[in-house]
Structure 1
Amino acid sequence: MNGLLLVLGGLGLALILEGLLARYELLAYSVGWRASTTELPDGLPYARGAPADRPPLAYLVYLDGIGKRQFRDTRDGGQLVQAVIAGAPELRVLGQVQPYSPLAAPLTDRPVWAWLRRRAGLLLFLHNVVQTFVAADRRYRPLYNQAVGRQIVVQLRLAGYPAGSKIPVVLLSYSGGAQVSTGAVDELSRELSAPVLVIMLGGFHNGANDLSRVDHVYQLTSSKDRIERVGSWIFPQRWPLFRRSGWNRARQAGKVSVRLLEPATHVGPRSYISPTAVLDDGTSHLTRTADTVIALVRECYAVERR
């Protein structure tokens, strides 16, 4: 019993500290105490896929789930990004954006977090979970949206996005990345005048962000995805009763479409991005997800760009 109380007490203290740290980073951004990170590690390009010397069909920005800890893709070793690049060479793809850092600073580049990674890796995930709820909090949401939206704009420009080109930007988000992607739409529209497509994969978001400027939102989900379903329960703005929320206004405007990826789960060996879980026809979950994403982007933009 005493051991359980110690564990619960330690977890409670960790949550309090995480909440303070998450808000501190947003404060540091807002008052200019620290500049956002823009440089990438040696050997990591700002974008992959279509060459920069000719306009791609679209720029696709991947916003990973709470496992994102560094500039390189982490949740699946970058397999989803690689599969999209391989299947759609007409896209320029960015995977380095830090959805859970208003300062664009990877956790693994911070000395304290590097120490924790070796001794208490769970706290790394806890940090990103708390950041997701900070991004959803109505007190901090506008500033968080601006911070990460600006980060995406800067990374797109460094990746060669031509000003005023009207080349579409696709925000492909996994889990908590959906909260960030829906919040970044206004900043992308304002700064780049870009058409924006949002594709959520098991999206965990509060439904409060305004989506009036988005071209469309595709919700890729599964009845086996319990985490995505929890998000639809705990956030009132996702309930049909709240008709004036950003999410429900987008649904009423016909801007939200659902695609089922049965029987995928949110995480684990049968997740959306599992390379080993296979469908009846032998297609892996990873391949099916990448093919679906590519088909949706082409469906939205290939015809009008011909």
Structure 2
Amino acid sequence: MNTLLLWACAGIGVALIAEALLARYEVLVYGAGWRAPASELPDGTPYARGAAPDAPPAAYLVYLDGIGKRRVRDSRDGGVLVRALLTKAPELRVLGQVQPYSPLAAPLADRPVWAWLRRHAGLLLFLHNVMQVFVAADRRYRPLYNRAVGSQIATQLRLAGYRPHSGVPVVLLSYSGGAQVATGAVDELHATLRAPLLLLTIGGFHNGANDISRAEHLYRLTSANDRIERAGTWIFPQRWRLWRGSGWNRALRAGRVTVHRLDPATHVGPRSYISPNARLPDHRSHLDRTADTVIGVVRAREAARTPPAGTAGPEAGDRPA
């Protein structure tokens, strides 16, 4: 028994070392200019769903999923959150295909070696994406990672019909480790699209180092029962109040962060933020409450941005508060 345990620990250790090395491969390839992020989607996969691009939608919403994201078409929750948002807010144009854990936008499950691993050692798929979160948070690779994924998001938005300088808001909705990617993409999206940016994190796991001053606001959807998000606030010094110069703490002092409590939701499991089965006292599911909260925030910001009928709008170049 002890021998088996030692072998198991050794195997996990080897896997961790291998992943720590491989996770840096894509960002280094991107940085060297050997490959650019892919932009084409599989046949039959739309660049966005929801509102049509011919009449400007209320907002473009990009969903950056947690570490379970493995391919273009799927997400950890089977797409239930995106479907709920599309049903409840048809005025939004929603993109769910971005690969937040691949700087080269290469779906993990479509690679031959990973297809084999998915059948024989599925845990390594999650381990790969976990390692990518830490690469994105590493100060040595973070600028390249941010630029690569920000460029990927900007490209997908353009292909979905977004027009730079149009003034149509872009909402980055992120789950768990997707928050590291979302906060890192802000500067690249601002530079390339000049879009009003709104960030919403659900159980956001991020290191707090990225500068989000180019975003209008960040809404943090959280719960006292979310141990994984809370772990992120412990292990990353930039999330500590003492680190006053971090991007996160500067945003807090500037009043750019608003917290929405979604107690008693958990990060994952049958009582997670996106559970369609867990019920609240008002009989809504956790999924419905999360979708309603996201939509409520987006609509409230849009209402604040739109001047009342009969009044003049902001002067060209003005930035909404």
TM-score interval (norm. to shorter): over 0.9
Structure 1 residue aligned with 2:136: 135
TM-score calculated relative to the size of structure 2: 0.94
Instruction: For 1:1-306, list aligned pairs within 5 A.
Output: 1-305=2-306
1:72 Cα deviation after fit: 1.3
1:305 Cα deviation after fit: 3.1
Name the CA distance, whole Å, in 2 between partners of 1:188 and 1:166.
13
Q: Deviations over 1:99-141 (max 9, x none)?
A: 0000000011100000000000000000000000000000000
1:33 Cα deviation after fit: 2.0
Q: Deviations over 1:36-70 (max 9, x none)?
A: 21111111100001011100111000000000000
* Contact residue 176 and residue 204 of structure 2 kept, 8 A: yes
Name the CA distance, whole Å, in 2 between partners of 1:228 and 1:124.
21
Q: Which amino acid aligns with 2:136?
A: A
Q: Which amino acid aligns with 2:69?
A: K
* Contact residue 272 and residue 286 of structure 1 kept, 8 A: yes
Name the CA distance, whole Å, in 1 between partners of 2:227 and 2:235.
12
* Contact residue 104 and residue 148 of structure 2 kept, 8 A: yes
Any gaps of 5 or more consecutive residues in structure 1?
none
**Percent of residue pairs bearing the same amino acid type:** 71
* Contact residue 211 and residue 250 of structure 1 kept, 8 A: yes
Structure 1 residue aligned with 2:312: none
Query: RMSD between aligned alpha carbons?
Result: 0.8
Name the CA distance, whole Å, in 2 between partners of 1:305 and 1:93.
21
Any gaps of 5 or more consecutive residues in structure 2?
308-321
Name the CA distance, whole Å, in 1 between partners of 2:281 and 2:201.
24
Q: Tell me which moved more, 1-10 or 236-245.
A: 1-10
1:164 Cα deviation after fit: 1.5
* Contact residue 218 and residue 259 of structure 1 kept, 8 A: yes
Query: Residue 302 of structure 1: SS of its match in structure 2?
Result: helix
Q: Which amino acid aligns with 2:34?
A: W
1:162 Cα deviation after fit: 1.0
Query: Residue 23 of structure 2: SS of its match in structure 1?
Result: helix
Q: Which amino acid aligns with 1:250?
A: A
Q: Which amino acid aligns with 2:112?
A: P
Q: Tell me which moved more, 93-102 or 27-36.
A: 27-36
Aligned residue pair count: 306
* Contact residue 57 and residue 302 of structure 1 kept, 8 A: no
Name the CA distance, whole Å, in 2 between partners of 1:301 and 1:243.
31
1:182 Cα deviation after fit: 0.3
1:219 Cα deviation after fit: 0.5
Q: Which amino acid aligns with 2:101?
A: Y
